[in-house]
Amino acid sequence: MNAPESEEPPLLRRAVCPGSFDPVTNGHLDIIARASRLYDVVHVAVMINKSKQGLFTVDERIDLLREVTAEYGNVEVESFHGLLVDFCKDRGIPAIVKGLRAVSDFDYELQMAQMNNGLSGVETLFVPTNPTYSFLSSSLVKEVAAWGGDVSHLVPPAVLDALTERLARG
Ligand code: PNS
């Protein structure tokens, strides 16, 4: 005899990749893609930082992230304001996935992971960054692009177009 089918909907395994994403780089995308293969749903949470003016607005960053993650099929992009643990609690997310580029990232990331775990029990999983992108950050991409350097191998084509257009405006 077959076991009775459960009435409960299947529990989706969720994780969040948080960040500023001003703009999303190939390094971010590598981590999001890898998380999307490990979890049923990956939430990409774009932090709203009212005290810091970005090159792109939060809505522009979200549009770019949606465009470049569409192919993964299980990535949801949203903004958030306030504590990351509250974003997680509201959506039933038990895990934060972060990329570690180098030892220099570790100190601060460890502090945040321990604080977040102490606040709400949420776990942080560190993924070693692909060495191709270990030097990469949104800030460096913006700086190099602003001085006319080639960043086409560091960001997705949609981001390159947006950067070119934004920097041409001055
Ligand atoms: O891309 P960034 O700027 O390095 O991302 C930093 C981010 C957004 C992951 C971090 O600042 C964060 O989680 N901010 C949310 C506010 C919060 O929860 N602060 C307490 C962290 S212990």
CATH at residue 71: 3.40.50.620
Report the length, in residues, of the chain: 170
Structural domain containing residue 78 = 14-134
Q: Which of 17, 20, 18 is nearest to 33 (CA)?
A: 17
**pLDDT tens figures, 141-161:** 999 999 999 999 999 999 999
The domain tally of the chain equals: 1
Runs of H (alpha helix) within the chain: 26-38, 58-69, 84-91, 103-120, 138-146, 157-168
Task: List pLDDT tens digits, range 18-28.
Answer: 999 999 999 99
Cβ of residue 84 lying under 6 Å from some atom of ligand 1: yes
Three-class secondary structure assignment of 85-130? HHHHHHHCCCEEEEEECCHHHHHHHHHHHHHHHHHHCCEEEEEECC
Q: Is 112 in the pocket of ligand 1 (CB under 6 A)?
A: yes
Which pLDDT does position 74 carry in this prediction? 98
Instruction: Determine whether the shortest distance from the Cβ of 99 to ligand 1 is under 6 A.
Output: no
Inform me whether the pLDDT recorded for 5 exceeds 70: no
In a domain, 1, yes or no: no
Per-residue pLDDT tens over the stretch 91-100: 999 999 999 9
From 29, 47, 105, mutation site for ligand 1 pocket: most ligand atoms within 8 A of C-beta: 47
CA of 84 to the centre of ligand 1 (A): 7
Tokens of 54: 């970005």
Q: Over 80: is that where the pLDDT of 30 sits?
A: yes
Question: Residue 4: inside a domain, yes or no?
Answer: no
Q: How far, in Å, from the CA of 18 to the mean position of ligand 1?
A: 7
What angle do helix axes 58-69 and 26-38 make, rounded to 10 degrees?
Answer: 60
Tokens of 157: 């084509």
Q: What does the pLDDT look like over 115-130, one tens digit per residue?
A: 999 999 999 999 999 9
- The predicted pLDDT at position 10 comes to 80
The verdict on the CB of residue 47 being under 6 Å from ligand 1 is: yes
- Report pLDDT for 3: 60
Query: Quick check: is 70 in a domain?
Result: yes
Which atom of ligand 1 is least distant from the CA of 86? 18
Assess if residue 154 is contained within a domain.
Answer: no
- Tell me if 115 is assigned to some domain: yes
